[in-house]
Amino acid sequence: MTSTTPTTQPRPHVTHTVFNQSAPRVDINEYELNTVLVEAVNRHDAAWATSELTDVGTLVGSAQFQHDAKQANTITPELHTFDRWGNRIDEVEYHPSYHRIIAAAVEHGAHTRCWADPQPGSHVARAAIFMLFGQIEPGHACPVSMTHAVIPSLELQPDVAAQWVPKALSRSYSPELSAEKPSAIFGMSMTEKQGGSDVRANTTVARPVGAGGPGAEYLLTGHKWFCSAPMSDAFLVLAQAEGAGGEGLSCFLLPRILPDGTRNSFRIQRLKNKLGNKSNASSEIELDGTVALMVGEPGRGVRTIIEMVAQTRLDCVLGSAAGMRQSVAEATWHARHRAAFGATLADQPAMAAVLADLALESEAATVTAMRLARAHDEDADDTERAFRRLATAVAKYWICKRGPHHAYEALECLGGNGYTEDFPLAMRYREQPVMAVWEGSGNVIALDVLRAMTREPESIAAFDAEVNLARGASTILDAHLDNVRAQLSELATLDASSAQRRARRVVESMALALEASLLVRFSPTPVSDAFIEARLGNDRGAEYGTLPVGADLTAILQRH
């Protein structure tokens, strides 16, 4: 009888040896490797923060931090409206990785260090730290940004500021909702379903508890269409004030927990199912007799909260620039470790042109963002303040709009890997559009630029003076600067309708003038020459990788 027991040993052919793939881009120092950011920090009087920036660079470049970033964006926030006994709690549960990330960002002052220690370069140091954290995990940057941005608005109401500013300046973080906490994270909620950006159409009502007026208690009733980071400790909101204390759209500070420890009426209706920004919860909320304190003058709510909006718009620029840095870093890393057709991808002329073009965009965004950060420091004079008023809006419009396509092109450099969630550029591609939408989408920002030109003509003079510091370095740039002046002059002669139709074109021209001017002044000649020809020259292309003949690709890429 034949045995049924096999005696032959398996002899598999080994096919799954992994080669020609890039090594994990982990356990590196993201600050020290970012030449453009290091130069900007030193140039704009923040070299005193180098040690802490280096520490942050090591932290965010670690394998553990990157793993936390992936977890926070994969295991996303979950709303718990009730506890198991049926009590209304309105809590959002985050993965522990999210709390580790935001705690580290707060510990290093990514939120309010520039307000706690004002000196030349303070906003620059804070911006660099904010960008390093946001480069790897962008969702947590939303509440960090709002906590930073709330300070100027709170300071318009000294009695409220005395209670809340010290908590915002704290370097500690706790996710628990408690009146006893020495720290606080802030959120903001302005828009309503019927109005969106037209906040003057808001219908939420604020009724005074007593006499009313600045600093007084009100009860708010209404629905907010977007409320970011609903587990924050307090929020700035807009509502229509009623009563003898003053009427009209006003700004209020709304705490989640009242001084006696009870929960304020803050009903989270649902979490928004967003395209990206997955680690950060955004919500709709219902206010029903909700206690809040008026901040600023009644009827001046927009003017009060605009101080916060101005800061968060700068952070949109910082966030977009940070995203561009991640895109370039991941694309160049892959291209330098992957071979095809007999050479590494980075040494293939077609790929090198794409990478260099992406690097140019990233460098222009970073240089511009850091110049704006310096203009926000305490020592800014009247000219600097006028410049930042206009330039921040211009940069917010352009850099944030450039982010999504930049992320897509970088993703494509990784091929199929880039299109999977295993690599970070899929997350980045979904993330970049939020910077363009948040705090005013394209038309809102373009119209705000028009408004600034009309109401603050000194801002045009300051912007013009800044960009023309580079005049004489390039005939192409000089011609563009002349064109910008002509466009601005023409704009001043147009009726309101015609000016609106021209707004986007003019803002785009202004943005390119600013970026090109700053690169001429602060970056190596191969960088500025290639950028100017690629963005302003007669032979410019529409896609990344269409750089002019003669562009020094090696010199550009060595910086990235």
Question: pTM here?
Answer: 0.96
Tokens 């074109």: give the residue.
Answer: 505
Question: 190 and 248 share a domain?
Answer: yes
For residues 382 and 477, state if they share a domain. Answer: yes
* Domain end position, chosen among 256, 271, 300: 300
Do 363 and 407 fall within a single domain? yes
Q: How many domains is the chain partitioned into structurally?
A: 3
* One domain, residues 236 and 318: no
Query: Which runs of consecutive H residues, i.e. helices, occur in 342-469?
Result: 349-375, 382-413, 424-437, 442-455, 457-467
In a domain, 380, yes or no: yes
**12 in a domain, yes or no?**
no
pLDDT, block means (10 residues), the chain with 560 residues: 74 83 94 98 98 98 98 98 96 98 98 96 98 98 97 97 98 95 96 88 96 97 95 97 96 97 97 97 97 97 92 97 98 95 93 98 98 97 97 98 98 96 96 94 94 94 98 98 97 94 97 98 98 96 94 96
Same domain as 328, residue 288: no
Is residue 11 in a domain?
no
Tell me, yes or no, whether 16 lies in a domain: no
Same-domain check for residues 356 and 416: yes
* pLDDT computed for residue 1 by the predictor: 54
Residues 425 and 508 in one domain: yes
The torsion angle over the Cα atoms of residues 306, 308, 310 and 311, rounded to 10 degrees, is 180
Tell me, yes or no, whether 181 lies in a domain. no
Q: What is the C-alpha radius of gyration for the chain, rounded to an integer number of angstroms? A: 25
Q: Domain range holding 219?
A: 186-300
Using the 3D structure, point to which of 300, 327, 356 is the last residue of a domain: 300
* Whether residue 86 is found in the same domain as residue 197: no
Going 374 to 378 to 383 to 385, the CA torsion angle's sign is positive
CATH (domain of 473): 1.20.140.10
Take residue 547 and report the two structure tokens written for it.
Answer: 């750089």
CA-CA distance, 331 to 415, in Å (whole number)? 10
Tell whether 282 and 329 lie within a shared domain. Answer: no
* Residue among 185, 245, 231, 191 nearest 80 (CA): 231
- Same domain as 191, residue 165: no
Please report whether residue 373 resides in a domain.
yes
pLDDT at 2: 59
Return d(Cα 218, Cα 278) in angstroms, integer: 33
Q: Is residue 335 located within the same domain as residue 410?
A: yes
Would 64 be classed as within a structural domain?
A: yes
pLDDT given at position 245: 94
Check whether residue 90 and residue 192 sit in a common domain.
no
> What is the rounded CA–CA span in Å between residue 301 and residue 279?
30
Residue at 20 is within a domain: no
Q: What is the C-alpha to C-alpha distance for residues 111 and 132, in angstroms, rounded to an integer?
A: 13
Looking at residue 195, its pLDDT comes to: 85
Residues 6+ apart with CB under 8 A from 217: 208, 209, 210, 291, 292, 293
Last residue of a domain, one of 235, 268, 300: 300
